[in-house]
A and B are shown apart, each in its own frame.
Chain A
Amino acid sequence: MADIYHEIPPRFQVEIDREKCRLCERCTVNCTYDVHSFQGERIVARSENCVACQRCATMCPQGAISILPGKITFAPHYTYSDRIRRIIYEQASTGGVMLAGSGTDLPYRVIFDDLLLDAAQVTNPSIDPLRETVETVTYLGRKPDRMSVAEDDGKLIVSRGADYPNVELSTPIVVGHMSLGSISYNACLAILRAAKEVGTMVGTGEGGLHPDFYEYADVINSEVASGRFGIEPRYLKEIAAIEIKIGQGAKPGHGGHLPGEKVDAVISETRMIPKGTDALSPYPHHDIYSIEDLAQLIGALKEASRYRVPVGVKIAAVHNSAPIASGIARAGADFITLDGLRGGTGAAPRIIRDHAGIPVELAVAAVDRRLREEGIRHLVSIVAGGSIRYAADLVKVLALGADAAMVGQSALIAMGCRACQMCHLGNCSWGIATQRSDLTRRLDVDIAAQRLANVFHAWTEELREILGALGIDSVESLVGNRDRLRYVGPNPKVAEVLGVKHAGEPWSD
């Protein structure tokens, strides 16, 4: 279908201070959205193309560029908001399905912001993390069914039955699945280096593992998704964990379409498909239509990896997450990853990104409670992601029942992402969500890796601080500890689902 172009007001207004501009043309080189060009004797900015990635303004040596909200306003209309009008104009022009990147930007209430933490006062003294050990090491995987302690001739004999493979993390933060394809080679490499330094785990995303990255195999969580791309023996045998991807928070129920123009030599080698072909991940796994089928794939992966690593299952947070998680635990998974409504994506249909799923806060609390009620919580670890923005969210999601938090967008922001949400266009001016070699070069791997490692270290210290203030000496004692959370939001039903009391209510009456 031919595009029928229809002029609409720009979202942003790009202004160049002519006094300051020295005509160095750096903005024209740096902009990847065709905004700046040198025409005649001046730089001309086409504001209608601007996505506010800030690359030009950051790189301008004179500080001559301003990016402001669009100057031409739509007539105010609550029902037909600017956003909705823009969507209709776009679809009227193209007849296409709206695609979007990143996570939803709609103002769904962030429940983390309605939760407050407890602090130790008098009767349960706080701990000084500088002086005393506050443990943040976390183990992902199935735990023994029972432990028994016996005394034999004055010695304690601890027996715990069968041992199951666990992944040791130095801190309860893992990096989610961002594939080479959704982000660049350099971005992947920076994340792997940071994870190795910190001692945590990184998801491969759907799409296999580039041969160069096997150097980092001991921090890699291999994703097995519906497209089954890049699955070779070492992808299942040399890594730290395997994760079956059923769903993703940004696009529950949807598969993935990596457009052919992004499938260049590097991607082709990783996904193991010919260059230039669409890489389609089907909506469901074609061998999973029930919990029994899921159990079969878990069994196959455990057999293929010779029971050396834990096998997890990732689902999007949806209405029925708790019973599904119960089934997943009983199907033999060793960890369950819950990806919430606000989770990110390289590209997803906007209608799904913005309108399907539930916030991870509710899902993690519901799943944790359900598994505890059924006495099977020890069968699985819970990993929760989908807008873990900073350390406060990390602490709160653990208290709601997660063993570890999964990050994506915040990791990219640490590396320089401006969250302009144009990942799906593949022209990321910061060299992160792109495969264009002229752009991927822009991301300095060493610097990006160090910045990300800094964030992980800072979060871990903040976690220790808060644990100390709570009087808890190990992160495992925070997991599912809803007693240390209070709700201050507007909706008591939310507190009920979370299993959290309202602020002002004491531990017990």
Chain B
Amino acid sequence: MVELKEKAEAEVRAEAEPNVIEISALDERGEPKPYKLLNDEVHRAAAAGCDVIRLRDVHGQRFLAAGLEGRVRLEVYGTPGNDLGVFMDGPTIEVFGSAQDQAGNTMNNGKIVVHGNAWDVTGFAARGGKIFVRGDGGYRIGIHMKEFRRHRPVVVYGGCVREFFGEYMAGGLLVALGLDGRGKAASRDPGREVVGSGLATGIHGGVIYLRGDVPDHYLGVGAVKRELDERDRKTLEPVLREFGEHFDVPLELIWEKPFTKVVPASSRPYGAYYCGKLI
């Protein structure tokens, strides 16, 4: 009980007067610090009880916030390297720029907000947490995401993504809106395709929502298209609102165009695949 109370008080204090630390990703000679050094500073700051860690001049340092736990908030200025927030459990990372590959790799919980693009394999094998990307994404985003009990990963792209979106997906929620992620307000559709082929190949759990339609031949093995119903709208609404709040995109604009839902044909894709009782 006392613990809970202390925790609540700490949260109130953090909100009122956050304990902020600024860390430069450059050393005294102006060279980018090795990731090990930078991450060590991040982990030490988090362990010391900082509420907000502001990273300046990030130059592709990998593994930022790897395995970091707790409620700390990371603000990243510059371009973080691959595996941003890998194995992370709880913190919030906001990137004022673009992220590289594998942001949120095997993430357990927490939130990653990227104001630019986040390229290949974002949210790989994530089991929880949320990833919001304002712009575009590359290949194999959201592959093999899972879900368990209250943990349900959510990945939302404001722009377009490429091939193999949601491949091997086992749970969670994947969204691509196809808005013009490069424009300031993301206010118009440039007529690009929201997603590439090989969509959701091997999917056996979770759900994908795409704004606009997708040609049937883009669907991978085991994936089927469905119309949205009221429950889908209820699921999407809070997720889209959160996305809109982060990037200042009005909800009406997003709902202007109908969505397509992609789900697994079966949760048992290998149910009748094997034999071998006699020998």
Contacts and interface: CB of A to CB of B under 8 A. Distances in A.
A306 B272 CA distance: 43
B202 A280 contact: yes
Which size bracket describes the interface of B in this complex?
35 or more
Interface stretch (B5-13, B121-129, B173-181, B211-219): B121-129
Contact of B275 (A97, A228, A229): A97
Tell me whether chain A's interface is mostly helix, strand or loop, or mixed. mixed
A87 B274 CA distance: 13
Interface stretch (B48-56, B100-108, B229-237): B100-108
Interface string A52-90: 000000000000000000000000000000010011011
Interface in B237-279: 267-279
Interface centre among B89, B121, B278 (most CB of A within 10 A): B278
Nearest to B121: A287
Given A99-B274, A227-B144, A272-B148, A277 B279 contact: no
A100 B279 CA distance: 9
Tell me whether chain B's interface is mostly helix, strand or loop, or mixed. loop
B210 interface: no
Contacts of B159: none
Contact of B171 (A97, A231, A273, A300): A273
A89 B274 contact: no
B150 to A, nearest CB: 11
A11 B279 contact: yes
Contacts of B140: 286
Contacts of B271: 259-260, 278
A98 B277 CA distance: 9
Nearest to A229: B146
B43 interface: yes
A282 B168 contact: yes
B87 A236 contact: yes
Nearest to B69: A233
A377 B140 CA distance: 36
Given A11-B279, A286-B143, A233 B274 contact: no
Given A233-B67, A259-B270, A280-B270, A91 B144 contact: no
B62 interface: yes
Nearest to B82: A296
B267 A278 contact: yes
Interface string B30-58: 00000110010001000000000000000
Contact of B268 (A1, A8, A89, A277): A277
A259 B204 CA distance: 12
Contacts of A98: 274-276
A316 to B, nearest CB: 20
A349 B276 CA distance: 9
A451 interface: no
Given A233-B67, A286-B124, A96 B62 contact: no
Contacts of A231: 87, 106, 108, 125, 127
B225 interface: no
A276 interface: yes
A93 interface: yes
B83 A282 contact: no
A350 interface: yes
A425 B143 CA distance: 29
Contact of A304 (B87, B204, B275): B87
B141 to A, nearest CB: 11
A440 to B, nearest CB: 21
B170 interface: yes
A11 B279 CA distance: 8
B89 to A, nearest CB: 5
Contact of B269 (A86, A278, A350): A278
Contacts of A424: 274, 276
Contacts of B136: none
A300 B83 contact: yes
Given A259-B274, A286-B121, A303-B66, 16 more contacts: A86-B278, A228-B106, A228-B144, A233-B67, A233-B108, A257-B273, A260-B267, A273-B147, A273-B170, A274-B147, A279-B170, A280-B204, A300-B105, A303-B39, A304-B63, A349-B274
Lowest 8 A-B CB distances belong to which pairs?
A304-B67, A96-B275, A228-B125, A303-B66, A94-B275, A272-B148, A99-B276, A99-B274
21 contacts: A87-B279, A90-B275, A96-B276, A98-B276, A99-B275, A228-B144, A231-B87, A231-B106, A232-B89, A232-B108, A233-B87, A237-B67, A272-B148, A277-B170, A277-B268, A278-B271, A280-B269, A296-B62, A299-B62, A303-B66, A306-B67
Interface of A: 1, 8, 11, 83, 86-87, 89-91, 93-100, 227-229, 231-233, 236-237, 257, 259-260, 268, 272-274, 276-280, 282, 286-287, 296, 299-301, 303-306, 347, 349-350, 424-425
